[in-house]
Structure 1
Amino acid sequence: MVQTISVAESRELDDKTINKIGIPSMVLMERAGLKIYEDMLNNPALDLGKVLILAGTGNNGGDGLVVARLLCTHGYDVSIVTVGNPDHASEDHVNQQKICDYYQIPKAFMSDDFNKYTTLVDGLFGSGLSRNVGGDFATVIDKANASTANIHAIDIPSGLNGDTGEAMGTAIEATSTSTIAYAKAGMVKPGADKYTGKLFIDDIGIYKGNSFDNE
C-alpha cells in the first residue's frame, strides 16, 4: 500500500529536513531533479525528442530547471518557459536559473506552439496550491492539456488539490508524475489518476521518522 501524507505534513517534513536535520534545500532540489530525470528516462510513454519545461517561479519550477539542465547536458533538446513574475522567484529558483543560463538552455514563450514538443514537464506549482488557478497559469495548463505532447508532472500535477484530489479550476492531466518523498493523499483518491497518470515516488531523503519505512 502506498504511504501518503497531507499537504501540511509535506511542508512540515520539508521544514524538518532543511532546518532541523540540516540538509540544504538546494541539495534536496538537486536530488529531486536527478530522480525526476531518471523517472523520465525510464518511462517508455515519454518521447524525449523535444522537451519543454513549464517552470513556475517557486521551488517546483526550480526542480524543473534541474531537469532541464540534466537533459541539456546529456544531449537532449530542451527549452524552458517561465510562468509567473520572476521578481517573486524563490532563492533556489534564481540560483538554478543562473546555472541554466550558464548552459545556455533556450528560453521559450507562452505563445509558442506546444504541439511542436514531444514532452512537457509540469513544474508550475507544488502541492501547496491554496486557491483556484487563474491568469497565465490557467492558460498554460489548458494549452498543455490540449497539446499533442505527453506531460510529466513534478511532485503533483499543477492545479490538483493535494488533499482532496480535485482540480482547482483546472489542472494538468499528466501522463506520469514524479512525487517527492511520499504521495500526497489526494493523488490516490478516486478519479485523481486522470491527472497523475503513472506515479513515481522519489526518495530524496525526506522521511516521516528516521527512515522511509518509519511510520
Structure 2
Amino acid sequence: MTKPVFSIQEAREADAYTINEVGIPSAVLMERAALAVANELQTNEAFDLSKTLVVAATGNNGGDGLAVARLLFVQGLDVTVLLLGNEAHATVETQRQLKICRHYRIPIVTTIADFAAFTTIVDGIFGVGLARPVEGAFAETIQAMNASPANIMAIDVPSGLQADTGEILGTAIQAATTVTMAARKLGFTAKSEPNTGHVIVADIGVYQPH
C-alpha cells in the first residue's frame, strides 16, 4: 500500500525502488502516467479537446507530456506540442518519446504566438523535483498559459510549485486539475489549491521501499 502523501524525497525513492528493485521499467511507468492523464482529459467534461496544446520540457515530466500528446493524437484529436529547453539535454525517456512523436508526425514547435487559440493546455514542464525559481522563457510561457482561457491540466505537480511546501517558485501554473502520480504531495494544501485545482491520484504501479 502506498501512503497517502509523498515528500519529494519519498517520491524519488519510490520511483527508484520500483524501477531498480521491483523491475518495472521507467518507460512503463511513463506510459502508465500518460494513460492516466489522457484518460482524465477524455472523461472530464471541463476539458474541451478540440485543440490541445501539450507544453513539455526536457525532463521526464516532459516525457510524460509527450506520451500524452501521442495518446490523444492517435485517437484523431488535434494536438500540438510546445517543446521548451535544449533538446540535447533531454532525458533518455524524453528523447524516446520525442522520437515516437516524430514517427507519428505530431506537430512539435518551439514557440507559440497565441495560447488563446487552444481549448485545453497540458502542463508537462517541471516535475516533482523543481528546486529553484522559474525564470526567463519558462516563466514567460507559464504566465502565457495562465492568461489563456483554456483549462490547464498539470502532470504530477503544477510547474513552478514546490512540491514539499506548496511555495510558488517565481511563478506557477494555475491548473484546473492535477493528475499526480502514486500519492498526493506534501505541498498540496488549501494554500496551493489555486495552482493544483482538483487533485486526482493515479496509481501507476509505484511501490515504496519496505
**TM-score relative to the length of structure 2:** 0.96
Q: Tell me the distance in 2 between the aligned counterparts of 1:151 and 1:112.
A: 18
| Residue 209 of structure 1: how far off its partner (Å) | 5.7
Task: Kindly indicate whether residue 111 of structure 2 is the aligned counterpart of residue 102 of structure 1.
Answer: no
Secondary structure of the residue that 2:168 maps to in structure 1? coil
- 1:63 maps to 64
Task: Look up the match of 1:54.
Answer: 55
- Taking the TM superposition and a 5 Å limit, the aligned residue runs for 1:1-215 are 3-187=4-188, 189-208=189-208
CA contact (8 A) 2:17 2:208 kept: no
Is the 8 Å Cα contact of residues 15 and 207 (structure 2) preserved in structure 1?
Answer: no
Identity of aligned residues (%): 50
Kindly provide the amino acid, as one letter, of the partner of residue 138 in structure 1: A
Whole-Å separation in 2 of the counterparts to 1:190 and 1:201:
16
Shift of 1:208: 2.6
Question: Given that residues 80 and 108 in structure 2 are in contact (C-alpha distance below 8 angstroms), is that contact kept between their aligned partners in structure 1?
Answer: yes
Aligned partner letter, 2:118 = Y
What SS is found at the alignment partner of 2:152? strand
| 4+ long deviations beyond 3 Å | none
Question: In 1, are the aligned partners of 2:6 and 2:186 still within 8 Å (CA)?
Answer: yes
In the aligned structure 1, how far is the partner of 2:41 from the partner of 2:207? Answer: 23
Alpha-carbon distance, 1:3 to partner: 1.2
> For each residue in 1:22-78, what CA deviation from the matched residue of structure 2 results, as whole angstroms up to 9, or x when unmatched?
111001101111111001112111111100000010110000011000100001000
Q: Deviations over 1:145-193 (max 9, x none)?
A: 0111110000000000101111111000001111011111101x22211
SS of residue in 1 equivalent to 2:106: coil
Which stretch shifts more, 158-167 or 106-115? Answer: 106-115
Residue 11 of structure 1 and its aligned partner are, at CA, apart by 0.5
**Secondary structure of the residue that 1:79 maps to in structure 2?**
strand
Calculate the aligned-residue CA RMSD, in Å: 1.2
SS of residue paired to 1:207 = coil
8 A Cα contact 1:110 1:140, kept in partner: no
Q: 2:7–2:185: 8 Å Cα contact kept in structure 1?
A: yes
1:21 Cα deviation from its structure 2 partner:
1.1
Q: Which moved more, 1:200-209 or 1:49-58?
A: 200-209
Opposite residue 84 of structure 2, the aligned amino acid is V
Whole-Å separation in 2 of the counterparts to 1:47 and 1:157: 19
Aligned residue type for 1:105 = I
Once the two structures are TM-superposed, the CA of residue 111 in structure 1 deviates from its matched residue by 3.5
User: Helix, strand or coil: the match of 1:70?
Assistant: helix
Q: Which amino acid aligns with 2:106?
A: I
Amino acid at match of 2:13: E
